[in-house]
């Protein structure tokens, strides 16, 4: 919601973006869930894995104990989590800056500063 002031016609654009994101990610998430469930195999083996992470054991089972393939798939999950975290940090910092501009926090004056050297981006 903090980016809605930058969207053209936010009354229409923001709800479309929200519903579209939920729909798109819901379909993709359901596809990933189906793939994991089909590759699950024996639940007791997955839960008793010495690795300690059931998802890695499922990937290891799917790749037929191929360590290289399991590492590649696990790395894909880690990279996806890092990319999602970067988006969360950007969103949180933008929300913090927006609230600081309204004087919500102590020291808001310092949090709401803009950089003159970097095209008026928040410091």
> Cα-flanking dihedrals φ and ψ of residue 28, to 5°?
-65, -40
DSSP 8-state symbol, 4: G
31 to 54, 72, 97: CA distances (angstroms): 19, 19, 36
Average pLDDT over residues 29-58: 91
Answer whether residue 29 shows pLDDT above 80: yes
User: Comparing 41 with 120, which gets the higher pLDDT?
Assistant: 41
Confidence of residue 105 (pLDDT cuts 50, 70, 90): confident
Q: What is the pLDDT of residue 67?
A: 95
Question: pLDDT per residue over 62-96, tens digit each?
Answer: 999 999 999 999 999 999 999 999 988 988 888 88
């Amino acid at each position: 919601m903090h980016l809605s002031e930058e969207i053209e016609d936010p009354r229409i654009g923001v709800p479309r973006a929200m519903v579209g994101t939920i729909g798109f990610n819901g379909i993709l998430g359901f596809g990933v869930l189906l793939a994991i469930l089909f590759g699950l195999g024996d639940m007791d083996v997955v839960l008793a894995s010495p690795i300690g992470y059931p998802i890695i054991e499922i990937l290891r089972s799917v790749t037929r104990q191929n360590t290289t393939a399991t590492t590649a798939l696990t790395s894909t999950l880690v990279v996806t989590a890092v990319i999602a975290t970067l988006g969360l940090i950007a969103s949180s910092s933008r929300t913090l800056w927006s609230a600081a501009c309204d004087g919500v926090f102590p020291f808001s004056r310092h949090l709401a500063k803009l950089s003159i050297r970097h095209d008026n981006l928040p410091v």
